[in-house]
């Protein structure tokens, strides 16, 4: 069955003319349409544009032209601007916003030949850990549709998990690639901050947001990331450093790799079945010649409180532009300018977004800036220093991506703090700006478990290599939920 093929295999078969891009696009579009009532993974399905792009891809391939991903179907998380296609950020505020330009990530993947099939559902403005805050309704986990897929990139993760797409773009501010990848049993990578352009990526927290990918395998992630990454002069946070060929060297042996086991991640909150899967995965790395030792990051326990000061502060600043004046939702018949602001924002934003805006405004206020925001930034530096010390001793840090497997829809919505703690193992990598990824490593009570890998700055190739070698020894990344097999 064609949908079971990896992105790398599809790209190779398209180049060899063993199948056509139009045929491929139609097959995936049929799966998307059939699954939409069940999973709600998409906000917009761009069938007409996709078939036109697929036809152009087939023509290019017939001429012996095309890029690395020519004809391969993908989807974009619905916060990457796409010219002529609405970009909603999962919010009523942008329900009818059609971008006049493409995000750099979108334009680079299009230049590589990838065919966009649609825009994927997400937590509103990327604020959430379960994909329940979307104005367009929750996304459901393909392994059990009563459960969440994780967030905020839940639509991307669910679509790849159910093989509605071989790969999709995603973003990670505090774990929003790795957490849904773990809960859905797929591969997801968050690159180093500044490695992938944020131009055209609608901002939540500008010093934390980073674009990445979710795919079935590490090889697929390497293929997509290679096309997306690189310096962009339109993004002031983009880093001008060469991008290696992430695909090259994936098969090299792991002999001598030094792995640091994150001591603080194996705490009382970690489910015993999740821990078992992580330790079994580490045994595979040991068998492949890696050396494992315990590593401590003493300030990592402060990640959650620091993050939930910094991220809301930046969110309150970024979302101030949505005022009902130039774009976005506008209330009807405002009495005056103040009424326009108040009602446009209260109608356009959901509860979680409002909560974070209010928190951010509070910590940035004159009387509390030093007590909260400035202190959180100092803690952030302590966490970054912990990572630097750790990477002086080991090559890669490993541990769980999430404390538990997927939880029920509605189980944590009444208690924001409990929801926030679901990101307890992922947030630190964003605060430090280092690359991190999650790969499937087993099942707990029939649900996927993710192994998290964290590397030093710009070590994406090292992470992808380790993940690929692990996946050559295991088949967790190839498991598909029965009803989508």
Which are the catalytic amino acids? Answer: 77, 152, 176
- The whole-angstrom separation of Cα 21 and Cα 452 is 34
How many other CB atoms are found less than 10 A from the CB of residue 161?
29
CA distance 291 to 286: 6
Residue 196: closest CA among 229, 167, 169 = 229
Closest CA to 243 of 73, 447, 438, 458: 458
The answer to whether 303 and 424 have CB atoms below 8 angstroms apart is yes
What burial class does residue 227 get, using C-beta atoms within 10 Å of its C-beta: 0-12 exposed, 13-18 middle, 19+ buried? buried
- Distance from the Cα of residue 460 to its chain's centroid: 15
Which element (helix H / strand E) includes 220? Answer: helix 218-228
Residue with tokens 């093989």: 163
**Nearest Cα residue to 316 out of 346, 376, 347, 361:** 361
Distance of CA 92 to the CA centre of its chain: 22
Q: 206 vs 309, 378, 472, CA distance in Å?
A: 13, 17, 36
Structure tokens at 286: 């040991």
Q: Which two tokens stand for residue 332?
A: 């009807």
28, containing H or E segment = helix 21-39
Count other C-beta atoms under 10 Å from residue 378's C-beta: 10
């Amino acid at each position: 069955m064609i949908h079971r093929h990896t992105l790398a295999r599809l790209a190779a078969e398209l180049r060899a003319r063993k199948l056509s891009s139009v045929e491929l696009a139609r097959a995936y579009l049929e799966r998307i349409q059939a699954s939409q009532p069940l999973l709600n993974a998409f906000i917009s399905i761009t069938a007409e544009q996709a078939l036109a792009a697929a036809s152009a891809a087939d023509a290019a391939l017939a001429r012996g032209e095309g890029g690395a991903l020519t004809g391969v179907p993908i989807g974009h998380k619905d916060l990457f601007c796409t010219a002529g296609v609405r970009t909603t950020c999962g919010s009523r505020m942008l329900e009818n916003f059609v971008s006049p330009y493409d995000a750099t990530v979108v334009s680079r993947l299009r230049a590589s030949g990838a065919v966009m099939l649609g825009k994927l559902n997400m937590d509103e403005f990327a604020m959430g850990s379960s994909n329940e805050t979307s104005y367009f309704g929750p996304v459901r986990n393909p392994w059990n549709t009563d459960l969440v897929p994780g967030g905020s990139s839940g639509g991307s993760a669910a679509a790849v998990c159910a093989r509605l797409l071989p790969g999709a773009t995603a973003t990670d501010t505090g774990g929003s690639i790795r957490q849904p990848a773990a809960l859905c049993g797929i591969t997801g990578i968050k690159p180093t901050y500044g490695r992938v352009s944020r131009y055209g990526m609608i901002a939540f927290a500008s010093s934390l947001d980073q674009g990445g990918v979710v795919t079935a395998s590490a090889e697929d992630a390497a293929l997509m990331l290679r096309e997306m990454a690189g310096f962009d002069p339109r993004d002031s946070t983009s880093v001008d450093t060469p991008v290696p060929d992430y695909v090259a060297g994936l098969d090299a042996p792991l002999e001598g790799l030094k792995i640091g086991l994150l001591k603080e991640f194996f705490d009382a909150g970690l489910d015993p079945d999740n821990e078992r899967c992580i330790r079994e995965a580490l045994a595979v790395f040991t068998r492949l010649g890696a050396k494992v030792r315990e590593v401590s990051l003493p300030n990592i326990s402060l990640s959650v409180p620091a993050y939930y000061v910094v991220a809301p502060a930046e969110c309150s600043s970024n979302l101030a532009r949505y005022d009902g004046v130039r774009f976005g939702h506008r209330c009807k018949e405002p009495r005056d300018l103040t009424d326009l602001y108040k009602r446009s924002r209260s109608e356009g934003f959901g509860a979680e977004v409002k909560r974070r805006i209010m928190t951010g405004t509070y910590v940035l206020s004159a009387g509390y800036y030093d007590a909260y925001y400035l202190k959180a930034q100092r803690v952030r530096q302590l966490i970054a220093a912990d990572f630097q010390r750790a990477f002086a001793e080991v090559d890669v840090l490993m541990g769980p991506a999430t404390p538990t497997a997927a939880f029920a829809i509605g189980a944590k919505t009444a208690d924001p703090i409990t929801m926030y703690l679901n990101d307890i193992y992922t947030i630190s990598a964003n605060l430090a700006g280092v690359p991190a990824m999650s790969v499937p490593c087993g099942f707990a009570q029939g649900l996927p478990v993710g192994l998290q890998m964290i590397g030093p700055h710009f070590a994406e190739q090292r992470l992808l290599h380790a993940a690929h070698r692990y996946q050559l020894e295991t088949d967790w990344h190839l498991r598909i939920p029965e009803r989508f097999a």
